[in-house]
Each structure stands twice: as C-alpha cells, then as structure tokens.
Chain A
Amino acid sequence: MTINPALPIKFSRTHRLQWEEAQQKDVILYPEGMVELNQSSAEILKLCDGTRNLAEIVSELEQKFSTSGLTNDVTAFLEVALHNGWINQN
C-alpha cells in the first residue's frame, strides 16, 4: 500500500489516538489492542486530520521542528500506518 500524494490523509474513525498519562505517551487504541507511539510517530498522526496531504504534513513537521529532509521517514511511517488501518485516504 502506498500513500497517494494528491489526497488528504485522515486518522481512522475506528481507532482512537490519545495521550496516556500513566504511560507518559500517546497510544492508538482499537478493538483488542493498543500501540504505544514514540513522539515523532504521534506528531505525524496528529496532523492526519483529513485536511492535509503528504507534502503538507511533511512541510508542517519540518517547520515545527526546524529541520528538513523528513519526506522519506514520514512517508515510510505513513505507509505502515496505512497498512495497519490507522489512517485512510477516502
């Protein structure tokens, strides 16, 4: 599965992304499961709100963290996320 660069990316409405105080980390919750996220993964997913496409997410992250060259890493992570059903592009 690959990310379509033209379409906006949206976090799945059948999963929930939330901060867990006890674990001091963001997690994805879904039936029978939980994925613990590191900070960069969580930052990427929080931008998947259905208004931004891949390039816009990358540019927003690069601005926020005053860096560049994030395209490959972000794309690779979003492909994993798409494969796992955490995000969609419909």
Chain B
Amino acid sequence: MAGSIKTKITPPRWLLAELTYACPLQCPYCSNPIDYAKYQSELSTEDWKRVLTQARKMGAVQLGFSGGEPLTRKDLAELVKHARDLGYYSNLITSGYGLTEERIIQLKEAGLDHIQVSIQASTQELNDHIAGTASFEHKKEVARLVKKHGYPMVLCVVIHRENIHQMPEILAMAEELGADYLELANTQYYGWAHANRDLLLPTKEQFEKAEAIAQAFKETVAGKMKIYYVVPDFYEDRPKACMNGWGTTFLTIAPDGVSLPCHSARELPGLDCPNVKDYSVEEIWNESKAFNFFRGVEWMKEPCRSCDEKEKDFGGCHCQAYLLTGDMYNADPVCSKSPEHGVIQEAIDSAARSALSVNEKPLIFRNSKNSRLLS
C-alpha cells in the first residue's frame, strides 16, 4: 500500500520539534493527541541535537519549537543555539506562560529568530476560561517584551465559536500590541478539538461575518501587519492540500521521538511511525513505511483517483478522512465530490443544535486527567 517507488522524494523543509507534551494551559482545541498522557518519555538534549543536525543536512530550514509548552524544557536555549549554529530559522511557538524578560533575552542571544505567542481571546475572562489558566495579562506583557527585544512578533489566535464574536476586538488588540504577523487560525477539528467540536464549531453566518471583518482589516494594515488566515475547511467545498502533500515538506517529531508526516498522524492506524531513537532522519524520511504511505497518488481510491484536482489537494487530509469516515484512504469528506460529504453538514447541524440547547455539555479541557479518561 505504501507510496509508489516512482514518486520522487523531495527533502524536508519544515521541522516541527514538539519538545514536550507538558503544558500549563488546557486549551480544549489542543492539537496534541487525546491520549498524550500515555507518552511520558521525552527525547534527551543529545537526541534532539542529533535530529536537528540530521534534518538540517537534508535541507530542513524552517524550525518550530513547539509542544505542549516548549518553555518547560530546561535545555531550550541550548537547542536554540544548536539550531542557529546549523543555520535554521527558528520559531518558538509558545503560550507565553512563564516567559520572563530574562529568558527572552537569553533566547535572543542563543539565536532564536522569532516568537509566536498565542492569545485565546480579547478579554481576560474568556482568555483565562479557554486557556484554563489565568494568563491574559501576562501574555500581553510577553507580546510587548517580544517586540521590545527586536523579534518579529507573531500573535496567534485560534478562532472558534466561543471567541469568534470578538473578531473586531482581537484585531484591535493585535494592532495595539504591534504584532508584525497575526495568525487567525480557525480551529481544525482533530484531537481535542474533534472531541469538543459541538461546542467549538461556529455557524456559517458567524464565520462569514468574522472573515469579512478580518479581510477589511487586512487592507487597513497592509505593509504593517501580515495576516495569515487559516480557513475553517468545514465551510469549503474542496479540501486543503494537507501538509503540502504527505512526506513532501513537513516533518514533525513528537516529544518521545516518534516521527510524523503531520502532527495529527499519530491518530491514524497502522502507520508504525518510526522513532528517531531507532533510525536516522534520512532513513525515516526516505525509507519508512509511514512517510511513504500517502506519497504520490497510487494510494488513492475514487473519487480522488480520476479527479483532475488530485495533484492540487492530494485528496485532502487523511486524518480528517479517518476521523469522519473511518477510512483514511477515503477522500477528505470536506470535498463535495466525496460520497461521504454529508458528514460535514451533519457536524455543522449537530454543533448548531448544541449551541441552542439549554443543556449544552461542558468543554473537555486538555489535561492529563481528561487524557487518561478519554484514552
């Protein structure tokens, strides 16, 4: 079933280093796997340095230090320095929780290129509720300090039904904080977000209104602030070209060393994702079953196989196909050509019913207790 050997393998360009699953926040849309609490072990400093070296040699250049909360790793500055020495362009993807001015300076000296701070909402009450931690004022202070110390400041706000009405205030906050980049990431429904979908998925009207506001704002800040808008694919009729094509560009290394073609791929059955403790990055990228699984187009079933857009979106997202149709070889059901496309409307309807219900169930927050309960 693995991808055809005829498929030309391109080298990785982006490396996402998930340093840890530990996180002081409990965001209910976290992209970590639901069963993350099972994976307690973390790679050592030396393991990470070896992985960074090997991936860089192959051509990886964009590097994200992520998690969990990467700041919980005591060796972060050491890893940043190693990455800088290798020529990576490195990004710290952080909640900002626990980030002091001293550490911001230390990381800058180590060679960190930019810091992406996530804020959950435009008000303290909602931010602290969604994050599951009192963190709003500190996050804003961190955003200012990031700016002050000469980093490009990337503000990331994940958008969902609880905060989508705050779009105007979120944009005003980004401007006030002097964000150079604003990532407005409509929630993607995997992992924890999948479990909480009925409570997070906005209606089409809510989404269209928020998008119109964001697009108008984009014009007014052109040249000052760059906006990355991640579309909510449930309201599209063609799927996203997930990961720019499986095993073509992106490499994720999970905290325990498991290598993934996308950060959600841990949810897919039977991939046998290899561990960097057992293989080199080059062996993993070029030869492993997991990375060859959906390379090229040989794996496709109908309607993808005969579709004239198959080289454009590669059949969409396999994790979404698996979660929503039970078969990862199916076309991403977001596609209107998918025979299972109806599940998307069912999800939208279900979320709308939940929003109107007087007994709406509570959000399941991302923490170790819930992780153990759900896995």
Interface set of A (CB-CB < 8 Å, partner B): 1, 13-14, 16, 18, 20, 22-23, 27, 29-34, 83, 85
Contact = CB atoms under 8 A, between A and B. Distances in A.
Contacts of B113: 16, 29, 31
A30 B152 contact: yes
Given A1-B223, A30-B89, A32-B154, 19 more contacts: A14-B114, A14-B180, A18-B87, A20-B61, A22-B11, A22-B57, A29-B62, A29-B89, A31-B91, A31-B114, A31-B154, A31-B180, A31-B181, A32-B62, A32-B91, A32-B183, A32-B228, A34-B89, A85-B223
B343 interface: no
12 contacts: A14-B151, A22-B61, A29-B113, A30-B89, A31-B91, A31-B180, A31-B181, A32-B181, A32-B183, A33-B62, A34-B62, A85-B223
B59 interface: yes
B62 A22 contact: no
Nearest to A14: B152
Contacts of A23: 59
Given A31-B181, A34-B13, A20 B59 contact: yes
Contacts of B61: 20, 22, 27, 29, 34
A22 B180 contact: no
A90 B181 CA distance: 20
Contacts, number: 47
Given A27-B61, A32-B228, A85-B223, A16 B89 contact: yes
Shortest 7 CB-CB distances between A and B: which pairs? A22-B59, A29-B89, A14-B152, A31-B114, A31-B154, A31-B181, A31-B152
